[in-house]
Amino acid sequence: MTDLNGKTALITGASSGFGADFAHILAEKGMNLIVTARRVEKLNALKTGIEEKYGVKVRVIAMDLTGFDAAQKLYAEVKNENIDMLVNNAGYGMYDWFERQSAGDLDKMVQLNVVSAMTLANLFVKDFAAKNSGWILNTASFAAFNPTPFYAVYGATKAFLMNFSVALRTEMKKSGKNVAVTAFCPGFTATEFVQTAGQKRSSFLEKTIGKSYPAAVEAVSALLKNKPVVMPRFMNRLGAFCLRFMPRSLAAGAAFASIKKTD
């Protein structure tokens, strides 16, 4: 069993949802935390609750991680903290017809979902490789497996993260480095994601949406076992398996029908 007691994890997007779940799960395992997001009030509340419950140290960094420079600034601020685990969880989706979306808004999403996560992984993997120890968990999505209308760009960012994670894990493994990399690919989950993305909860969503904490537990377990991809819930795994045998156009059509906009 992996002993994480006294080690330090950096969690981005930690103010709610999976990020807050990861904070509780890792704190329970004895890890000290550095948590970052934009909403400092939520981070401070998380810090207070975790320190009182688990007796670990929690440092709060309120920061917008959009883009390369922001990720570099975060790394510069924590590089001397001897980080053992990076949880790249910051990200969001935008739900709409692509033609109605703003290129500027899409760019910000890509900067956060892709550029920031990739940059942090690049900076920290050097440290992890040098000490031959470390863990990187990248939050991707079920959308990584399927062209997803109305989430066209979001799904593409998550496909990047999944493929990037598996490739990086392979590099570490083939080079003999003891650095674990896992892509976490949940399906629709009861977090703030749907509301933030601007999607209304349809009857399909209500029937299929999952709980976040058990999924986060599964993700951490998979990371500690250095699994390449973790997808919580049998229905999601079955769906991803079936997608292997479907033409992409048919899969995209099915996704369109299941989450289509009514306007």
Catalytic residue numbers, as ranges = 154
| Torsions phi, psi for 87 (to 5 deg) | -110, 100
CA count, 13 A, side-chain hemisphere, 24: 15
Angle at 15 between CA 9 and CA 20, to 5 degrees: 55
Other CB atoms closer than 10 Å to residue 238's CB: what's the count? Answer: 11
**C-beta of residue 219 within 8 angstroms of C-beta of residue 230:** yes
Name the nearest CA neighbour of 60 among 75, 76, 44, 73: 44
Is beta strand 85-88 parallel, antiparallel or unpaired with respect to 229-230? unpaired
